[in-house]
Amino acid sequence: MILKHIVVLFLMVALFSCGATSKSGEVKVLGRQILVNDAQDTFKGICYHPVPKGKETGNFENLTEDFALIVEAGINTIRVYGPIIDKPVLDEIDQAGLKVIIGFGYDQGGENDILSGSFIN
């Protein structure tokens, strides 16, 4: 249970801290509440894993269109299945005003997983 709380805390701090120009603000976990800029925040989210029809791997070719639809639907948070390391993608997420939650598996063969500790990288 403690590992779960550490992972959640790490994710919230690391993932919402995109830099000084980020629209996301400062994120804190206080008990069971998530505070953004010292105010309780409400997350309206969707899982986002863009795999084009007929393809087997995802890509971020349609970010602008996707994010416009996501924001229009009233969604303010996306959950992705693995780390996004492409800075232009992260910048576009931030410009759209979206928050990101990144999922990490427990045992993913040593790649971005909790068991090996590689998710910290």
Q: How many CB atoms lie within 10 A of CB 115?
A: 13
14-23: pLDDT as tens digits? 444 444 444 5
58-78: pLDDT as tens digits? 888 899 999 999 999 999 999
Q: Specify the pLDDT at position 6.
A: 44
Closest by CA position to 109, among listed 78, 79, 86, 82: 82
Q: What angle do CA 59, 65, 70 make, to 5 degrees?
A: 95
Domains of the chain: 2-120 (3.20.20.80)
Crossing angle between the packed helical segments 63-72 and 87-95, to the nearest 10 degrees: 30
Q: In the structure encoding, which two tokens stand for residue 101, read together?
A: 């939650």
